[in-house]
Chain A
Amino acid sequence: MTSILILEQLLNGLGYGLMLFLLAAGLTLVFGIMDVLNLAHGSLFMAGAYVAAEAHTRSGSFVAAIVLAVVVTVIVAALLEMLLMRQLYKRDHLAQVLATFGVILVADDLVKMIWGPSPVMAPTPAALSGPIELVPGLPYPAYRLVILGAGVLVALALYLLVNHTRVGMRVRAGASDRPMAELMGVRVGRIFNGVFLLGAALAALAGALMGPIVAVQVGMGEQILIPALVVLVIGGIGSVRGAFIAALLVGLVDTIGRAFMPMLLRATLPPATAADLGPLFAEVAMYALMVAVLIFRPSGLFSARA
C-alpha cells in the first residue's frame, strides 16, 4: 500500500518537474543569452492554457488545440519581442522587471476581458480520461502519463538540439560569453529571436498540457512563474542541463513536502500541530531548497557563466 502511494506521488512530482522544466528552459536561455529577466514568461504559459482550453472545447480535438495554442502564443511572443523586448536588451534588470511586470498586468486584464474573471473549464481528452493500471494496485490517470511522456520527449529533443547540433552550439556559446561568440561570427541577436520564440512555444505547450489538471484562471502565470524562477536559479543561469536537474529536484521536493511530510508529521506530532505545519512544509520546501543551494553555490548548480 505505502510503496504504491510513494510511487504514485513520485510520478506526480516527476510530471510537475517536467512541466516546470518546459517553462524554465526558455527562461534560462533567454536570461543566459540576452541577460533579460522576462517576468511575462508566466503570461505566455497562461495564454497557452487559455487558447488550448477554448480550442479544445470548440473543436473537440486535443491535438489541434495544443498546436493552435503553441502557434497563437508564438505569434503573441513575436509581437511582444518586436514591440517591447528589443527595447529592453540593453537596459538593466530593474527596467526589465518593471516593464515585464507591466506586461503581466496588461495580460491578466486582457484575458479577463476575453474570457471573464472566473476560471475556464479545460476538458481532459475523452480517450485519456480513464486510469491505466501501471503495476497491479496502482491505477494512474492516463492523462498524467501523457504529460510525463510529452515532458520526457521535449526534454530529450531539447537536449539533442542544444548539445548536438550546430545551432545548439551557437546558443551555448551565446549563453556562456556573448561578446566572444559575436566576435567569432555568431549572430547572437538572430539566435536570440529563435530562442525567445522557442521558449514561448515551450511555455505554451506546458500551459496547454497543464490546463486540464490545474485551474485555468487569471493569475496562473504568476503562480507558476515563481517556481520556474526558482528552478532557473537553482540550475544556474543559462544552463539547460541545470534547469532540467533543478526542475526534477523542485518537482520531487515539492511532492515530498506536500505528500510525505504531512504523513511523517502526523506520525510524530500531535494532530493539531501536524495539521498546522503540514501545508507550511509543502509550500516552503522549494524555497528552502533554493536558499540551501545558493548558500553553497551562490550562482546555482550549473551556471553557464561559471
Chain B
Amino acid sequence: MKPRFLLLAALLVALAAFPLVAPMLGMEFYIGFVRRVLVVALAAASLNFILGFGGMVALGHAGFIGVGAYTVVALSDAGVASAWLLWPAAALVAGLAAALIGTVALRTRGVYFIMTTLAFAQMLYFVAVSLRNYGGDDGYTLPARPTLGLGIDLGNETHFYWLVLALVALLLAWMQRATRSRFGHALMGIRDNEVRMRALGYPVFRIQLVAFAIAGAIAGLAGALLAGGNGFISPGAMHWTQSATLVVMVVIGGLGRSWGGPVGAVVWLLLEEVLKQYTDHWHLPLGLLLIAVALWAPKGLAALGRRHGPSRKKKTEAA
C-alpha cells in the first residue's frame, strides 16, 4: 500500500508541476493537451464506474458529456459567468438526464440495453444539432472562460489546468472510495449475480439507477470542463462514435479496474496524438491495437502487469 501511495503522490506532483516546467521545454502546447487528457480520463472513469463495476454496457456516455457542455453553453449564453453556478448545474442537469434515461434503459438487458442507451444518446445528439441558437451543427464558441473568484483566474491556462487537475483527482479518489463502499460492493454483486442480489433483498433497480445517474453527472461535469477549457463545443462531441471510443478506452484500460478508465484514456489519446504526427492514416494502427487487445489482453492494460494480484483472488472467490 505504501509504495503505491508514494507513486500516486509523485504522479500528482509531477502533473501539478507540468505547466511550470513545460514552457522551459518549449512544450506549452501540451498544457492544453494534458488538461484535455485529464478531463477525458475523468469521463472514462465515470463510465468504468457503471460499465466495469456495474456491468452496464452503456453506449451513450458521450451524450451526458454533451448535456453538461450544452448546459454551460445555455447558461453562458444567458449571461451566467460564475463557475460556481455553471459546473454544478452541468453535473446536475446531466445527472437528471441520466436518471431519466436510466429509468427506461435499465428495464432492458444485454444488447437491448446497449441499444437503448445508444438511442437516447443519438436523440440528444440530434437535439444539439437542432439548437440553431447555439450554433447547431457548427458548434458554439463560448464568450469567455468562467470566473471563480478566490484569486484564481480561469482565463490563465495554468490556473485552469490546476483547477481541472484538483477536480479530477478529487473525483477519481471519490469514485475509488465509492467502489469500495457498501454501495460499490452491492453494485459489483449485481454485476456478478443479479438474481442472487435480488433474492438477498437488494433494490437492484435503484442501486443501478443511482450509479447510472452518478456516472452521468460526473460525465456532465467533464463536459463542462471540456467546453470551458476549449472555449468551444460542437455536437460532434456527443456522436455515437465518441461514446464507442469511451467504451474502448475503458476496455483497453481495464474493466472494473480502479485505474482502468484513466489508463485507457491516456493510452488512447497519447497514441492518437503521436500517430497523427506521423501519418494521416492513424485510425489503422489504433484499430489493430483494439483487435489485439480484444484478442490477447481481454482484461485490459491495467491488468497486464499484475498476474498475481486481485485477478487470482477473484478466481478463488468465484470457485
Contact = CB atoms under 8 A, between A and B. Distances in A.
Interface of A: 31, 37, 84, 87-88, 91, 93-99, 101-110, 112-113, 222, 226, 229-230, 233, 237, 276-277, 279-280, 283-284, 287-288, 290-291, 294-295, 298-300
B236 interface: no
Given A287-B120, A298-B109, A300-B112, 20 more contacts: A88-B294, A93-B57, A94-B247, A94-B255, A95-B251, A96-B294, A97-B59, A98-B247, A98-B290, A99-B295, A104-B287, A105-B287, A105-B290, A226-B122, A230-B115, A280-B126, A280-B129, A284-B122, A291-B104, A294-B104
B281 interface: yes
A94 B130 contact: no
A288 B111 contact: no
Contacts of B248: 98, 101
9 contacts: A93-B114, A97-B59, A98-B294, A102-B290, A102-B294, A280-B127, A283-B122, A284-B127, A291-B119
B116 interface: yes
Nearest to A92: B298
Q: Which 9 A-B pairs have the closest CB atoms?
A: A102-B290, A105-B287, A99-B294, A106-B287, A109-B284, A280-B130, A283-B126, A287-B119, A102-B291
B40 to A, nearest CB: 17
A113 B122 contact: no
Contacts of A287: 119-120, 122-123
B140 interface: no
Nearest to B52: A94
Contacts of A102: 286-291, 294
B286 A105 contact: yes
Contacts, number: 129
A262 to B, nearest CB: 12
Contacts of B116: 290-291, 294
Interface of B: 57, 59, 104, 107-112, 114-116, 118-120, 122-123, 126-127, 129-132, 240-241, 244, 247-248, 251-252, 255, 280-284, 286-291, 293-295, 298
B111 A93 contact: yes
A222 to B, nearest CB: 7
Contact of B112 (A276, A288, A298): A298
A276 B109 CA distance: 35
Contact of B119 (A99, A110, A290): A290
A283 B129 contact: yes
Contacts of B255: 94
A155 B283 CA distance: 36
A302 to B, nearest CB: 14
B254 to A, nearest CB: 12
Contacts of A107: 287
B119 A230 contact: yes
A99 B112 contact: no
Given A102-B289, A222-B241, A290-B119, A93 B110 contact: yes
Contact of A229 (B107, B108, B115, B123): B115
A106 B282 CA distance: 9
Given A98-B251, A99-B294, A276-B130, A233 B112 contact: yes
A106 B294 CA distance: 15
B53 to A, nearest CB: 14
A299 B113 CA distance: 10
Given A98-B251, A99-B294, A288-B123, A105 B283 contact: yes
B102 to A, nearest CB: 13
Nearest to B128: A280
Contacts of A108: 283
B112 A94 contact: no
Contacts of B240: 226
B156 to A, nearest CB: 37
A271 to B, nearest CB: 13
B205 to A, nearest CB: 13
A295 B115 CA distance: 13
A109 B131 CA distance: 32
A243 to B, nearest CB: 14
B298 A95 contact: yes
A178 to B, nearest CB: 16
B113 to A, nearest CB: 9
Contacts of B298: 91, 95
Nearest to A295: B104
Contacts of B252: 98
B123 A103 contact: no
A98 B264 CA distance: 13
B207 to A, nearest CB: 19
Contacts of B110: 93
Contacts of A87: 295
Contacts of B126: 279-280, 283-284
Nearest to A234: B115
A226 B126 CA distance: 14
Contact of A109 (B119, B123, B130, B283): B283
A284 B107 CA distance: 21
A148 to B, nearest CB: 27
Contacts of A101: 244, 248, 287, 290
A233 B110 CA distance: 11
Contacts of A84: 291, 295
A287 B129 CA distance: 15
A193 B67 CA distance: 43
Nearest to A280: B130
